[in-house]
């Protein structure tokens, strides 16, 4: 791991944490699951996927999820934040690897966003034992919107990053 | 530069396949909303309050105040809500009044679940 790569990943991780902080300031979308997020920070994992490959993205993902709960002081939220992040990111990786020639990063991000919120809702429902599935009515569209926003941001960021940035 | 990054630099932001995928996902996201609008909501008959494994069922037709572990739950005019709670986030209080079968208010830190039970038609009672 070169210093450049290390710095790049560290930069992405801290940016992701800032986005997490901003997200928590929004009104709680997931009132039944304290600590559940919109998934905006996935923007950085997605960018890391393009600059540093699958592993780079996983590194940013794992560290940002763990640290964001350390900062929030809410380790219980890891029960739904971690699976949601991993499932959402893994599916996005598969889509990128298989279909990037045909599908843009925007729709991949949308799928990731929806999956992220769906996973959070499912796990919170299993944990509490209460039927929370009616809540997908607004969590899924919000995931769609978040994914759309992240996808467009990722596209323009990656399109304009200078060549030098990608150096290992 | 990673292969996927090179690919992205060459590509347009939206393709036809994008449009198809997005439309499919959008429809899937809005499906639950359509179901909610088509299937009429059932009015609740009773409320089940579960705390640490024990459940008690109260009828919604009688006004009542239930106190559990520092939380005050009110049954009033066929509706149920957390009037007050000494938990840190107070998400339960923010949920407001619930009255449709299947609706719920939960206090996660204290493991208190308040669920409206209908007459079982839409799977709201377990």
Q: What are phi and psi of A47, to 5 degrees?
A: -65, -40
Among the partner residues B5, B17, B113, nearest to A158 by beta-carbon distance:
B5
CA A55/CA B118 separation, integer angstroms: 49
Residues of B in contact with A113 (CB under 8 A): none
Is B14 within 8 Å of A106 when comparing Cβ atoms?
Answer: yes
pLDDT tens, A114-157?
A: 999 999 888 888 887 767 677 788 788 888 989 999 999 999 99
Q: How far is CA B36 from CA A136, B42, B49, in A?
A: 11, 11, 25
Q: Which residues between 75 and 94 in chain B have a beta carbon less than 8 angstroms from any beta carbon of chain A? A: 89, 91, 94
**Burial class of residue B16, CB neighbours in 10 A (0-12, 13-18, 19+):** exposed
Domains in chain B: boundaries: 3-38, 46-117
pLDDT tens, B42-87?
A: 777 888 888 888 888 888 888 889 888 888 888 888 888 888 888 8
DSSP classification of residue A141: H
Residues of B in contact with A142 (CB under 8 A): none
The verdict on B39 touching A (C-beta cutoff 8 Å) is no
Could you say which of 3.40.50.2300, 3.40.1190.20, 2.60.320.10, 3.90.600.10 is the CATH number of the domain covering B46-117?
A: 2.60.320.10
- Do B15 and A104 form a contact (C-beta atoms < 8 A)? yes
CATH number belonging to domain A3-161? 1.10.1760.20
- Choose from A18-27, A58-67, A123-132 the range with maximum mean pLDDT: A58-67
| Mean pLDDT confidence for A94-101 | 86
The verdict on B15 touching A (C-beta cutoff 8 Å) is yes
Is B2 within 8 Å of A137 when comparing Cβ atoms?
Answer: no
Residues in chain B: 126
* pLDDT averaged over every residue in chain A: 86
Report the percentage of chain A scoring pLDDT > 70. Answer: 93
A33 — pLDDT class (breaks 50, 70, 90)? low
In the prediction, which pLDDT does B125 show?
Answer: 43
DSSP A65-110: HHHHHHHHT-GGGHHHHHHHHHHHHHHHHHHHHHHTTTS-HHHHHH
Could you report the predicted ipTM of this complex, rounded to two decimals?
Answer: 0.77
B122 — pLDDT class (breaks 50, 70, 90)? very low
Q: How far is B56 from chain A (nearest CA, A)?
A: 15
For residues B7 and A35, the model is more confident at B7
**Looking at the predicted structure, is the pLDDT value of residue B123 above 50?**
no
Inter-chain CB pairs, A–B, below 8 Å: 104
- Do A117 and A148 form a contact (C-beta atoms < 8 A)? no
CA A104/CA A84 separation, integer angstroms: 22
């Amino acid at each position: 791991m070169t210093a450049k790569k290390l710095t790049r990943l560290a930069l992405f991780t801290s940016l992701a944490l800032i986005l997490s902080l901003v997200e928590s300031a929004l009104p709680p979308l997931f009132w039944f699951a304290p600590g559940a997020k919109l998934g905006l920070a996935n923007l950085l994992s997605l960018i890391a996927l393009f600059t540093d490959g699958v592993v780079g993205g996983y590194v940013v993902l794992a560290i940002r999820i763990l640290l964001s709960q350390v900062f929030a002081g809410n380790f219980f939220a890891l029960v739904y934040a971690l699976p949601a992040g991993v499932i959402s990111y893994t599916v996005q990786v598969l889509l990128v690897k298989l279909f990037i020639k045909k599908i843009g990063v925007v729709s991949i991000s949308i799928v990731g966003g929806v999956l992220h919120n769906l996973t959070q809702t499912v796990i919170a429902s299993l944990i509490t034992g209460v039927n929370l599935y009616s809540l997908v009515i607004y969590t899924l569209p919000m995931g769609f919107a978040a994914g759309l926003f992240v996808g467009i941001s990722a596209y323009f960021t990656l399109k304009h990053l200078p060549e030098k940035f990608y150096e290992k | 530069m990673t292969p996927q990054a090179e690919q992205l630099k060459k590509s347009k932001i939206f393709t036809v396949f994008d449009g198809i995928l997005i439309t499919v996902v959008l429809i899937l996201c809005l499906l639950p909303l359509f179901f909610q609008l088509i299937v009429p909501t059932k009015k609740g008959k009773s409320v089940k309050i579960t705390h640490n494994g024990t459940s008690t069922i109260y009828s919604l037709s009688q006004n009542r105040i239930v106190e559990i572990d520092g939380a005050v739950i009110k049954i009033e005019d066929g509706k149920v809500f957390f009037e007050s709670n000494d938990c840190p986030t107070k998400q339960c209080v923010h949920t407001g009044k619930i009255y449709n079968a299947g609706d719920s208010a939960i206090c996660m830190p204290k493991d208190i679940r308040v669920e409206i039970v209908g007459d079982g038609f839409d799977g709201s009672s377990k």
